[in-house]
Amino acid sequence: MALKNILVHVTNSDEAKARVEAAFSLAADHDAHLTGLGVRSVTQIPGYAASRIPPQVFREVEARQEADVKAARKLFDSAAARAGWSDRSGWLDGAGLPSDVVGLHARYTDLTVVGQQPLTGADNPEEGFADLLVMHSGRPVLVFPHVGAKSPIGRHIVVAWNASREAARAVGDAMPLLESSDTVDILSIEPEGIGDLPGADIAQHLARHGIKAEAKRSVANKVDAGDVLLNFVSDSGADLVVMGAYGHSRVREMIMGGVTRHMLEHMTVPVLMSH
């Protein structure tokens, strides 16, 4: 599958500017259409509480949200013009819980680009927005860090590999990026039950797609696995991480979901996540 239809969540924020620029760069690299999406967040307020809030307050909130969405579209359109991609881009907006609105539109795209969690300021649409989107959209999500990212994205990719269903899904979803990369490292941290050469099987699979990947392993030595991954990314100079996202079951979240959460909170490069 090629990347031909990309969605980016756009807010009226400084963080969104870098995210949108990166999304246009990615669209140009893959000759893809890019859609910007602005969301007017709808807060669920119980009827008994809403009745005590003056109507003027609701009008002011709606006006501010409308102004933010208009500013977000202006940001997106300006980036499209600079990238020379106006004819290959479009705009959508909606109202509701951001994870629901973005999640719905994500299902009709190849990749959705959003901001890092925890989000801040105007870029904070909903508690747990990024991980909710990853878990429920059914599509790959590229989470962009607050600190920005070097361009182009995906020249040196690290695949976090543990032979799980989620990791395999992430590799499949990331195939267009892996095929256009220069370097791919497959990193297994404290591998257990996946053979004497962890990562060798998935490296062979990628080789049959013309992707040269090197399998590597690391031990945590009582260091958080998320930090081991981040340290490897820093030392190797990688610019993108591909990994499965884990959640739902309380026990499973304790065992594996901590790495997902850690990366969402502390990422230093973009992370493509699939569930």
Q: Quick check: is 46 in a domain?
A: yes
- pLDDT tens-place string over residues 141-185: 999 998 888 888 999 999 999 888 999 999 999 999 999 999 999
Q: Quick check: is 65 in a domain?
A: yes
Q: Quick check: is 24 in a domain?
A: yes
Question: What would you report as the CA-atom Rg of the chain, rounded to the nearest whole angstrom?
Answer: 19
Bigger pLDDT: 222 or 90? 90
Q: Quick check: is 149 in a domain?
A: no
CA–CA separation, 26 and 142 (whole Å): 11
In terms of domains, do 131 and 164 share one?
no
Q: Quick check: is 54 in a domain?
A: yes
State the residue range of the domain holding 209.
Answer: 156-274
In terms of domains, do 21 and 139 share one?
yes
Residue 46 reports pLDDT greater than 70: no
Q: Are 196 and 169 in contact (CB under 8 A)?
A: no
Query: How many domains, in total, are found in the chain?
Result: 2
Give the CATH number of the domain where residue 36 resides: 3.40.50.620
CA–CA separation, 95 and 93 (whole Å): 7
In terms of domains, do 81 and 172 share one?
no
Q: Quick check: is 79 in a domain?
A: yes
In terms of domains, do 161 and 77 share one?
no
Report field, pTM of the whole predicted structure over 0.85 = yes
